[in-house]
Structure 1
């Protein structure tokens, strides 16, 4: 190694020395063999995907310094030797295993659907929909509350999907206050004892 180091030093001095005539003729390619070892690429296996380098599990070539100073301390890559390659293959099998699950779809009966309708109707009847509006000087809403907006707010706030025809709202709401909007639900949904119809409570407040 000492002879190799002396050879590289001598080569640099000869190249820099302009007084030596025809110095290029004494430069042999073998003198650069030791210097090329420093720039040899290493094959590594990536443990995680790195932009512009490769995906996890791929084998790539990187500079030794990049691997030693960046990839290896952060466990972003491991040397491409049989021991690490075997571990990476087993890890990929473990995390990429596709489990086949058999899902049996049980068709809903009429009773199940009726229970869902009743649950949704009770939720609408017991809840109170809250809306906020800007008002004018005469205490009227700048933008009235329409039937389509009530349908959208029922889906957003209560998680129940209804149609505009399920609401009995002859005209939009134009003032602040609490309102009780009748619901037009199928007659097959039984009403609780003491109630004459399903309704949705709506409260419009100042914004």
Structure 2
């Protein structure tokens, strides 16, 4: 089944793309959530008119993502955890905890967008990547201290 995307969908496409998806995925997820419309001939003709609007929306989303990235780059999160004598943490700092710390500082980010190569298990300074938009990502500075 072919659909026209109205929103950016990760691992599928960008606004305005015509993509082929499984009928169940379109019928049960994309269409009800408003992420896409069915790619009929009528909708394809309307797409040409809507392209300008979608391009404007795409640019607005990209600008918002860049502003959010700048805000995240300016933040340094300090986390205090219990640690042993050698600096190894009892437990780990995960993306869930980082998302909560960002939310406390006024930046709402889905925890799935915070990418850590592996959970932080040492005291020190680290960097986490926040994928805000397919074209924009920000580096989040994390400082882990002994509690």
Normalised TM-score (structure 1): 0.40
Show structure 1 runs of 5+ residues with no match. Answer: 1-108, 190-196
1:168-179 pair list within 5 angstroms? 168-179=115-126
1:165 Cα offset (Å)? 2.2
Which of 93, 102, 113 is the matching residue for 1:166? 113
User: How far apart, in 2, do the equivalents of 1:179 and 1:188 lie?
Assistant: 23
2:117 and 2:108 map into 1 onto residues whose CA distance is 20
Once the two structures are TM-superposed, the CA of residue 119 in structure 1 deviates from its matched residue by 1.4
- Could you say if the C-alpha distance between residues 163 and 111 of structure 1 is closer, same or farther in structure 2, counting changes exceeding 3 Å? same
Q: Which has the higher contact order (CA 8 A, sep 6+)?
A: 2
Corresponding position of 1:199: 139
2:88 is matched with 140
* 4+ long deviations beyond 4 Å: 109-112
Alignment of 1:42-81 (within 5 A): none
Show structure 2 runs of 5+ residues with no match: 1-56
Q: What's the C-alpha RMSD, in Å, of the aligned pairs?
A: 2.1
User: Which structure would you say has the larger Rg?
Assistant: 1
Q: Would you say how many aligned residue pairs link Structure 1 and Structure 2?
A: 92
- Whether 2:137 is the aligned partner of 1:180: answer no
